[in-house]
Structure 1
């Protein structure tokens, strides 16, 4: 009896070879012509299109039969750049390497499995599951994940832009009126990164704000990835878009990405522009530079996710806090010696 997964492996390998070589076979020993090569290229494109359609149909059929959790994991893995860590060479100097335990955890996150050898409960008392552990604020790991993406972006911007700043303070709002109710009008509000010259003008200012969301969180669990990206982008734009545009006279870019990889539309355009500038400066092909940039982001997110799973959240091992009285006594003892 045929397996229910047989449609995935349905291929006819000889048909593709015959279709591609037919224009050359028809020459029958005569000199190759432009039409023969053009027909061969057309045949290759048709085969590639048929394969893409076949794989898309197979993936859609498979997602209808698997669990919702695994279906969401498949969507996450299919995002642009989300699987870069799995296909890149393990070059240590670029940070593209994982030890065996981290690789096992990475595969568990990729397929929505429960990581092995984990405690039953988090340090905060909740059950130790991926849905919770990627968002638990205990230990500050979500903030570290955010800061790593922020610092990586700022470090790359310094290669091609001027006046790059981390956490620039926004100007105070005086007589300006913000139309949105959720607009951030607080004094001392800050964004993550600022740079000049990103979009062409040397003095044109661009302000960016990073958000890394957990796609397995209860608030995102029942929505598609596209809806999650749009929701978080709109929240950032409502909070800072008008203020940056009308008070700072700058361009605002929300950099939204999921904790397991994948970028929003505006974040994708931003990193493509950054890769284009880096490729021009480093004299490297654009495709190679973009792949390297996606690998850097992918490994950064992956290491942060693994740290959320394996990092210590308890107070054990932290430095002891001394009271002012103890500190005075300790200083007096040192002076006497």
Structure 2
């Protein structure tokens, strides 16, 4: 799960990125994957860990997600909780460490140069999410439910299944290896109500509404 051979860590990262960007296009404008950040013109930052490279880019940009008219930038990280470097830590602490690393690298630059908001999307290969990712996907499910005029609980259950299967597919590929050198993108034109019904997808708990 941690071996970089074959590009498997990148694969699981990219599927989450592309799936999330596709869903954001339904509720936000100006959505882009891997957008380049504006080049710096001599600005300095309080945090020495801030990425100052002119070619810096993040995974997703979307306008009017948290605040109307404001760009939000997202960066995805999928880590393996059973990696040797994580075994001695509480899982909640590992999620927070990865979120903090993303924030210290990009947060100040996004705020001061892009005048936007930065949200790290941290997940694990076991299917869990960091706190910021949980908040983001709940908000995304709420926006999608309003647009599609569906119950939030149904939409949230469907979204959880999509994320879980995306991570599961990458985990299986890491273990078995790819059967083909070609990429075969997964087409997503499935009816949500039909998918939930056929798959017996449980509704999210009412406490999340």
Q: TM-score range by the shorter chain?
A: 0.7 to 0.9
User: What is the correspondence of 1:229-248 to structure 2 with a 5 Å cutoff?
Assistant: 229-248=95-114
1:191 to 44, 58, 79: 58
Of 42, 46, 55, the residue aligned with 1:179 is 46
1:164 and 2:21 aligned? no
TM-score when normalising by structure 1: 0.53
Which one of the candidate residues 149, 166, 183 is aligned to 1:283?
A: 149
Runs of 4+ in structure 1 displaced over 2 angstroms? none
Counterpart for residue 219 of structure 1 = 85
Secondary structure of the equivalent of 1:255? strand
Change (3 A) 1:148 1:234: same
TM-score for the superposition, normalised by structure 2:
0.84
Could you say which structure has the larger radius of gyration? 1
Aligned residue in 2 for 1:59: none
**Which 5+ residue runs of structure 2 have no aligned equivalent?**
183-209
- Give the whole-Å Cα distance in 1 for the aligned partners of 2:172 and 2:152: 30
Matched, 1:307 2:183: no
Written as runs of structure 1 = structure 2, the 5 A alignment for 1:3-14 is: none
Deviation at 1:312, TM superposition (A): 4.7
**More strand as a share of residues:** 2
CA RMSD of aligned residues (A): 1.5
1:1-337 correspondence runs (5 A): 134-201=1-68, 203-312=69-178
SS in 1 for 2:26: helix
Q: C-alpha distance in 2, partners of 1:190/1:318?
A: 27
Indicate the structure with greater helix content.
Answer: 1
